[in-house]
């Protein structure tokens, strides 16, 4: 009985091998073995935004605050890497504390795509040619730094750099923060943020 079972298994094996050989000879496709395919990573849209004077997430030196906030009102300096396909850059610098309600301290648009730096202290005096400083929550154009209410605790100030696919934005200098965000909607290639903390005691 045991020998009979072995003979049956041997016959089945021969039949299966013959069927596979016939499929190959008749051009019937045989499923290929799984391949370990690796795809090339897509190029990252990275601006590598940096601000001179403090680390991302660190404390802002007092010099960047307004004189009323105990500082010298020196505008922050930004550096970034160029990004292909960018037509212009824009910068928004605002206060994220609930008391401040997104108070805008600096808004710059139409920064040419050849620019990769805005020098520290450049606001109103040494901005990149072609760029425009718009109205802030101070009702003035140009940079005015932190001046949080005394005792309101730490405020997070976020600089946001936008890479845009248009060379200029069709907005005037009195534009609101919300209107600016609407104007760039659909034109942002990528964006990066850099934050700093400041408290006025």
Q: Tell me: the pLDDT tens digits for 66-96? A: 999 999 999 999 999 999 999 999 999 999 9
> What's the whole-model pTM score?
0.78
Let me know the angle formed at the C-alpha of 43 by 41 and 47, rounded to the nearest 5 degrees: 140
Residue 83 structure tokens: 């990004």
- All domains of the chain in start order, with CATH: 50-198 (3.90.280.10)
**In Å, how far are 1, 11, 117, 194, 199 from 79, measured between CA atoms?**
85, 76, 4, 11, 25
Q: Tens digit of pLDDT for each residue in 135-166?
A: 999 999 999 999 999 999 999 999 999 999 99
154 versus 11: the higher-pLDDT residue is 154
Q: For residue 45, with 0-12 CB atoms within 10 Å meaning exposed, 13-18 middle and 19 or more buried, which class applies?
A: middle
Which of 27-31, 158-162, 197-201 is predicted with the least confidence, judged by mean pLDDT? 27-31
Burial class (CB in 10 A: 0-12, 13-18, 19+), 170: exposed
How many other C-beta atoms are found inside a 10 Å radius of the C-beta of residue 23?
12
Residue of 128, 154, 112, 114 lying closest to 75 (CA atoms) = 128
Residue 184 has pLDDT above 50, yes or no: yes
């Amino acid at each position: 009985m045991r020998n009979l079972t072995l003979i049956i298994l041997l016959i089945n094996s021969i039949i299966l091998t013959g069927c596979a050989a016939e499929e190959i000879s008749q051009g019937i496709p045989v499923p290929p073995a799984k391949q370990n395919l690796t795809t090339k990573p897509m190029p990252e849209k990275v601006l590598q935004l940096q601000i001179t004077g403090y680390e991302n997430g660190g404390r802002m030196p007092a010099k960047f605050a307004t004189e009323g906030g105990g500082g010298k009102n020196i505008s922050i300096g930004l550096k970034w890497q160029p990004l292909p396909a960018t037509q212009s850059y824009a910068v928004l610098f605002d206060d994220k504390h609930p008391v401040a309600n997104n108070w805008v301290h600096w808004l710059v648009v139409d920064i040419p795509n050849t620019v990769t730096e805005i020098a520290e202290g450049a606001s109103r005096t040494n901005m990149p040619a072609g760029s425009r400083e718009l109205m802030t929550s101070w009702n003035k154009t140009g940079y005015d730094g932190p001046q949080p209410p005394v005792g309101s605790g730490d405020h997070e100030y976020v600089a946001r750099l936008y890479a845009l696919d248009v060379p200029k934005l069709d907005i005037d200098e009195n534009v609101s923060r919300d209107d600016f965000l609407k104007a760039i909607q659909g034109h942002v290639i990528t964006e990066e943020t850099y934050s700093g903390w400041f408290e006025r005691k």
